[in-house]
Amino acid sequence: MQSIETIVVTSTILTPLFRIRSLMLLDMAGNQIRGELPGFANLSKLVDLDMSSNSFHGILTREVGSLQNLRVLNLEDNSLGGNIPKEIGNMTKLRQLYLRSNNFFGEIPSAFSYLKELEVLDSRDNSLSKKIPNFISNLSNITSLSLSNNKYTGSIPSSMQKLVSENKLEGIFPQWLAEMKVGSIIMSDNSLTGKTPHSISNIYRLQLLDLSSNIFFGNLPDFSSNVFLGYIDISSNEFSGEIPTKFYQEIEILDLGKNRFTGNFPRNLSNMSHLEHLDKHDNKISGELPEFISQISTLQVLNLRNTTLQGSIPDVNWKKSKQGLSSHNLELYSLLDLSMNQLFGEIPASLGKLNGLKLLNISHNILHGNVPISLGDLKKLESLDLSHNKLSGLIPQSLAKLQQLSILDIRVPCPEELSPTKPLMDGNKERWFLWEGVVIGYSFGFIIAVGILDHTGYFVP
């Protein structure tokens, strides 16, 4: 009888298959198979085993270590738990190991140090804990290492050449990393602190830098010499000083929000012809909102909330542009948030030209005059907040055409002589909306908060 070398299983009949000693490749991925893993003792010739995207539960037994000819083991997207067996270290020919999206806990066994041919190790989305082991850095053939979204603690080993996000790592930014030739650095959602080495700005071919949600402080390096860097997110840290005057001109995503930057609005931004997402909210940027911001035609997201900016809102003429970096699943949306500043003057009628706008928040400023009729042309608008300004006149009937609108807030403080018996807000706790991201698709329906727009209290809905 001729040996069976390849079999693709689409049923739940497993036991007979695991008795076929001649099997070299077994693919049972995506079959909704339930139950515990069968025994591996008879599959000594197996080279490729894919049991991903099923509903296997229980533990991964020590018997897996008998698969000493295995090159690829894929168990991702199941419900396997317990400790990762140290016997995997016996599979010295293993090149790819996928354990992502299970319930494994404990630590990565030290026996993994024997997997000298390992190229891919993916253990994301588990409950692995303790420290990231130093021996991983000795696996010289590793090209892809994914350990994110676990429960690792402690500092990053100096020997590590990859970083992970969404853990509980602490310590300082390692100097060795700033001297490596990597395409992306993702260190978000940890407890890392200290200053970032200025040499990080010289990493050749660095395309993505995400240091968000840590405790980094100090000045930000000058990234102008990096001709590949298209994505910078350092939001939610303690960076201070002035924002660097130079960035790479073709950068697409620049998020500096929620830091301690000071100084004027950098004028070099006018040269960024590909900028799509600019976020500087919750900093102390002084001066006026520059007119050149309206010349960045690719801009889709502008968040300058709570930055102490002054002056008037310039006429704008942004247009929808292509989606940003294709290597990241970023759902770019159209957002303009200038709230909680000291902007004065009238609301420009040209805002009605922003056809792709979904969220407009210019509340908590000193704007006066009428609500522009042109805002009724924003057909895709879902959130509109003009509250806490000094607006007057009538609410334009054109707003009734905004069929996508979910949030509308045009409240202003009531005159003392017309204050209602039950005030709209607590005088000690002013209410405002803070737009942190996409505020669309509200399940709770249409919300309106309309205050008195003139001393007579008369308005047209």
Write out the DSSP string of 310-353. EEPPPP--------S-TTS------EEE--SSEEEEEPPGGGGG
Residues 6+ apart with CB under 8 A from 353: 316, 317, 374, 377
Q: Identify which has the larger pLDDT, 59 or 166.
A: 59
pLDDT band at 179 (very low <50, low <70, confident <90, very high): low
For residue range 213-245, what is the model confidence (pLDDT) as tens digits? Answer: 999 999 988 876 666 788 999 999 999 999 887
Residue with tokens 């010499």: 225
Q: Identify which has the larger pLDDT, 290 or 431.
A: 290
231-233 and 208-210 as β-strands: parallel, antiparallel, unpaired? parallel
SS3 of residue 213 by DSSP: coil
184-186 and 301-303 as β-strands: parallel, antiparallel, unpaired? unpaired
User: Domain 1-123+134-144, what fold?
Assistant: 3.80.10
What are the tokens at 297?
């035609």
What are the tokens at 190?
């940890």
What is d(CA 9, CA 53) in angstroms, rounded to the nearest whole number?
13
For residue range 20-45, what is the model confidence (pLDDT) as tens digits? Answer: 888 899 888 988 888 888 888 888 89
User: Is the separation of the CB atoms in 57 and 81 below 8 Å?
Assistant: yes
> Among candidates 419, 415, 414, 372, which has minimal Cα distance to 394?
372
> Among candidates 330, 438, 432, which has minimal Cα distance to 383?
438
What is d(CA 457, CA 395) in angstroms, rounded to the nearest whole number?
11
What is d(CA 219, CA 187) in angstroms, rounded to the nearest whole number?
18
The answer for 369, left when phi > 0, alpha when psi is -120 to 50, beta otherwise, is left
DSSP state of 327: T
Q: How many CA atoms lie within 13 A of 150 on its CB side?
A: 29
Q: Identify which has the larger pLDDT, 451 or 155.
A: 155
What is d(CA 329, CA 273) in angstroms, rounded to the nearest whole number?
22
* pTM summary value: 0.61
What is d(CA 187, CA 177) in angstroms, rounded to the nearest whole number?
11
pLDDT band at 409 (very low <50, low <70, confident <90, very high): very high
Residues 6+ apart with CB under 8 A from 438: 331, 333, 335, 358, 359
One-letter amino acid at 250 equals: E
What's the pLDDT at 288?
87
What are the tokens at 411?
């409240």
Residue with tokens 């020997």: 159
> Among candidates 325, 328, 332, which has minimal Cα distance to 252?
325
